[in-house]
Amino acid sequence: MALFRLGTPAEPKHAIRGDDVFLRPLEARDHPAWAALREQSRDFLTPWEPTWSADDLTRSAYRRRLRRHAGEMERDEAYPFLIFRQNDGALLGGLTLGHVRRGVSQTATLGYWMGQPFAGRGYMARAVRAALTYGFAHLRLHRIEAACLTHNERSIRLLEGTGFHREGLARAYLRINGTWQDHLLFARLDSDPAAPAVRVCPSPIGDEAGLSLQTICAPTGDEPCSRPA
Ligand SMILES: CC(C)(COP(=O)(O)OP(=O)(O)OC[C@H]1O[C@@H](n2cnc3c(N)ncnc32)[C@H](O)[C@@H]1OP(=O)(O)O)[C@@H](O)C(=O)NCCC(=O)NCCS
């Protein structure tokens, strides 16, 4: 199996630094903020997501989520991240590069959610750009796919604004909010124009994030990274 993993699997504990946002894997200490933001955003999110289980926001379900994520990252299957605001560390939302397929595919599926108080301010577009850099440069993906409901204008604008191409319609593609629903399919290739350049910053995000690992910076320019650690 390892022979077919043409790309280099990621260090799962990477933090990704974007423009005004940073992304890192979920940690146990995030539960209170995560549960509060998801609860506050329940009516905003649930029409667009798989049905939440009755215990979804509890600490025990969160612990199971963390264990699942750790296994997925270890096996190079999925890379779930939380999104934080750079200047104050506020939790904004989440983003996952999931369903990683290696071999001749080298493809992953992008999923995301934004806390309602932070929606419409451009944070997700910045987080997606950072995740694209991580996916193409670090996970060595060839293709990143995304799917959204045909009437999800925000999601369509987000994907088109971050360089995804609309590829088609998949009938009854996912069971969202309890109903099998048609989805628009989008994808970006590593070879698409304006693919994000890559820079690995020497500076970690900082102790506050509990990380001392190298940081993937995105988007990038020619000048050296000057953001404070
Ligand atoms: C979809 C979602 C993740 C986008 O996150 P966000 O932080 O609001 O997105 P951004 O602020 O970065 O905006 C992205 C694009 O959406 C547009 N947008 C934002 N709010 C919008 C609205 N109410 N109606 C139409 N477009 C909207 C922005 O203008 C931007 O497009 P532009 O670059 O062409 O101007 C977020 O709104 C969300 O979580 N929605 C509910 C759950 C959901 O839809 N999940 C995704 C399932 S596929």
pLDDT digits (tens, 9 = 90+) for 49-84: 999 999 999 999 999 999 999 999 999 999 999 999
Number of structural domains found in the chain: 1
Confirm whether 111 is domain-assigned: yes
Our mutation pick for probing the ligand 1 site, out of 82, 113, 158, 176, counting the most ligand atoms within 8 A of Cβ, is 158
How many other CB atoms are found less than 10 A from the CB of residue 177? 14
Closest CA to 159 of 170, 172, 138, 145: 145
How confident is the model at residue 193, as a pLDDT? 84
pLDDT of residue 221: 40
- The answer to the question of residue 224 being in a domain is no
CA distance 190 to 132: 9
What the block records as the tokens of 57 is 């926001």
pLDDT at 6 over 50: no
In angstroms, the CA 187 to CA 148 distance is: 11
More confident residue, 178 or 10: 178
Q: What is the pLDDT of residue 9?
A: 43
Tell me the C-alpha distance between 83 and 55, whole Å. Answer: 23
225 close to ligand 1 (CB < 6 Angstrom) = no
Kindly report, residue by residue over 103-122, the tens digit of the pLDDT: 999 999 999 999 999 999 99
Atom number in ligand 1 closest to CA 152: 44
- Is the bond leading into 219 cis (omega within 30 degrees of zero)? yes
Calculate helix-pair angle for 123-133, 153-161, nearest 10 degrees: 50
Q: Is the CB of 47 within 6 Å of ligand 1?
A: no
Tell me the per-residue pLDDT of 168-202, one tens digit each, with 9 for 90 and over.
999 999 999 999 999 999 999 999 986 444 444 44
Q: Is the CB of 44 under 6 A from ligand 1?
A: yes
pLDDT tens-digit series, residues 133-173 = 999 999 999 999 999 999 999 999 999 999 999 999 999 99
Determine if ligand 1 sits within 6 Å of the CB of residue 161: yes
Q: Which residues of 88-103 are buried (b: 16+ CB within 10 A; e: fewer)?
A: eeebbbbbbbeebbbe
In a domain, residue 179? The reply is yes
pLDDT of amino acid 217: 54
* Ligand 1, atom nearest to 148 Cα: 48
For residue 215, the model assigns a pLDDT of 54
Q: Which residues contact 213 (CB under 8 A, 6 or more apart)?
A: 11, 13, 14, 15, 204
pLDDT-derived band at 13 (thresholds 50, 70, 90) equals: low
Q: What is the CATH number of the domain that holds 165?
A: 3.40.630.30
Domain span holding position 99: 2-217
Confidence of residue 89 (pLDDT cuts 50, 70, 90): very high
143 touches 107 (CB < 8 A): yes
pLDDT digits (tens, 9 = 90+) for 197-225: 444 444 444 433 333 334 555 544 434 44
39 domain-assigned: yes
Is 223 domain-assigned? Answer: no
Q: If you write DSSP's letter for every residue of 35-51 in order, what string do you get?
A: HHHHHHTHHHHGGGSSP
Q: Is the CB of 186 under 6 A from ligand 1?
A: no
Which stretch of DSSP H or E encloses residue 217? Answer: strand 215-217
pTM of the model: 0.85
The partner residues of 159 in beta bridges, in order of sequence, read none
In a domain, residue 226? The reply is no
